[in-house]
Amino acid sequence: MKNLLLIFFVFITVLFLSRGFLFRELFSYKSRGERTNYWATDSKLIELIEKNIDKETEYEVPEIVQLTLSITSNHLAFTSGKNHKDPNNLVSSNTAHCVGYASFFATTCNYLLKKYNLNENWIAKPQIGQLYLFNTNIHEYFDASFFKDHDFVLVTNKESAEVISIDPSIHDYFLIDKVTFIK
């Protein structure tokens, strides 16, 4: 019995530690278009972002993405109900669905890219997405309008076309930082 419990514990630990890899292998995202890209104009939103910055750190894009994921996850809670899409309003409501999560992430990321003079080469844009499991569009299997699409964010280098694909709502639940994007 001890050996069986040990094997089970090791199996669960391996699954947990490889969840990002497994998710990226099983699921992929395609964009059907872009959502509105908002800019941080609300003083509460700007204050929230600024208070999470380590003043001693000179952030580069990978650190900005991680910081933005942290700010988004710590500030928002998922809701399936109607909610704002504009992060300047979400900062007060503290709840969002995938559209709000993507919008909040993109706005926060763009604020930080500009702050660290990386916005000439990089931009974050919320995407209207479709989620695929084993290359099969899973949205076709749902009738509810809530499941017609799933928003995510592309952080793109304008010169090299390097893309970092992020699903902030998946990160909030499973701590998966990057997702697989298919053009």
Query: Within a domain: residue 134?
Result: yes
For residue range 40-93, what is the model confidence (pLDDT) as tens digits? Answer: 999 999 999 999 999 888 899 999 999 999 999 999 998 887 888 999 999 999
Calculate mean pLDDT across residues 170-177: 92
Indicate if the pLDDT at residue 14 is higher than 90. no
- Cα 87 to Cα 124: distance, rounded to the nearest angstrom: 14
The verdict on pTM exceeding 0.85 is yes
Residue 56 lies in a domain: yes
**Domain-embedded: residue 65:** yes
Judge whether 61 lies within some domain.
Answer: yes
Is the residue at 180 inside a domain? no
Q: CA dihedral defined by 60, 62, 67, 70, rounded to 10 degrees? A: 180
Q: How many domains does the chain have?
A: 1
Could you tell me if residue 144 is left (phi over 0), alpha (psi between -120 and 50 degrees) or otherwise beta? beta
Is 183 a domain residue? no
Average pLDDT of the segment spanning 151-180: 95
CATH code, 40: 3.10.620
Domain coverage including residue 67: 2-174
Asked, for residue 179, whether it belongs to a domain, the answer is no
Query: Looking at the domain assignment, is residue 28 inside a domain?
Result: yes
The partner residues of 77 in beta bridges, in order of sequence, read: 95
